């Protein structure tokens, strides 16, 4: 399998303030583990950044920037999006095809929005997904705490069978790439 890593919405505005994602800094550390392993194995790393038309997460704003501590290299790919689905009205599918990608590793923010939606869309498009179970996070909501959101999505996404391809859960420490 030819694998790419999607790092979804790990942006400064989601890592600070009252609505900061749960354990943002340790999650970023685990994402850095994942991307370092991917680069060592020659796998493409794609950073996806959400943006709004104005205000919060406006393109180019301080909140829109990749989060402090996130290790991005000039050789990594970047993609902008405006919806929870990283494939929706973006060039992600074309980029994956250009690199002959047939499997994805997904991590990032926020679990119940962009990580969930992109994972489901990837499955629908035929991509098996490895979800790094400890490298995605949430701010939680009125009904569920962030750890509950994360646990719920790990269980739910890994039990979806209807698309054909499946979600495999793995920790950042246990993630391995063939040939790397």
Angle at 88 between CA 155 and CA 131, to 5 degrees: 25
Q: Please give the biggest Cα pair distance in the chain.
A: 44
Show the domains of the chain with their CATH numbers: 3-170 (3.40.50.850)
Per-residue model confidence as pLDDT tens digits over 6-55 = 999 999 999 998 889 999 999 999 999 999 999 999 999 999 999 988 77
Determine the Cα–Cα distance for residues 42 and 64; give it in Å rounded to an integer.
27
First to last CA, the chain: 13
Q: pTM higher than 0.95, yes or no?
A: yes
């Amino acid at each position: 399998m030819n694998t790419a890593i999607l790092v979804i919405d790990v942006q400064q505005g989601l890592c600070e303030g009252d609505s900061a994602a749960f354990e943002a800094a340790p999650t970023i550390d685990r994402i850095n583990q994942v991307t370092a392993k991917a680069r060592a194995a020659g796998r493409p790393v794609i950073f996806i950044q959400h943006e709004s038309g104005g205000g919060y997460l406006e393109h180019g704003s301080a909140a829109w920037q990749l989060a402090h501590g996130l290790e991005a290299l000039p050789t990594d790919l970047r993609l902008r999006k405006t919806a929870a689905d990283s494939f929706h009205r973006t060039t992600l599918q074309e980029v994956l095809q250009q690199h002959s990608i047939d499997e994805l590793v997904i991590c990032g923010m926020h679990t119940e929005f962009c990580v969930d939606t992109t994972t489901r869309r990837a499955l629908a498009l035929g991509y098996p997904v490895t979800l790094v179970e400890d490298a995605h996070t949430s701010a939680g909501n009125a009904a569920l705490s962030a750890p509950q959101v994360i646990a719920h999505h790990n269980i739910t996404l890994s039990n979806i069978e209807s698309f054909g391809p499946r979600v495999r859960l793995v920790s950042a420490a246990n993630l391995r790439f063939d040939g790397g």
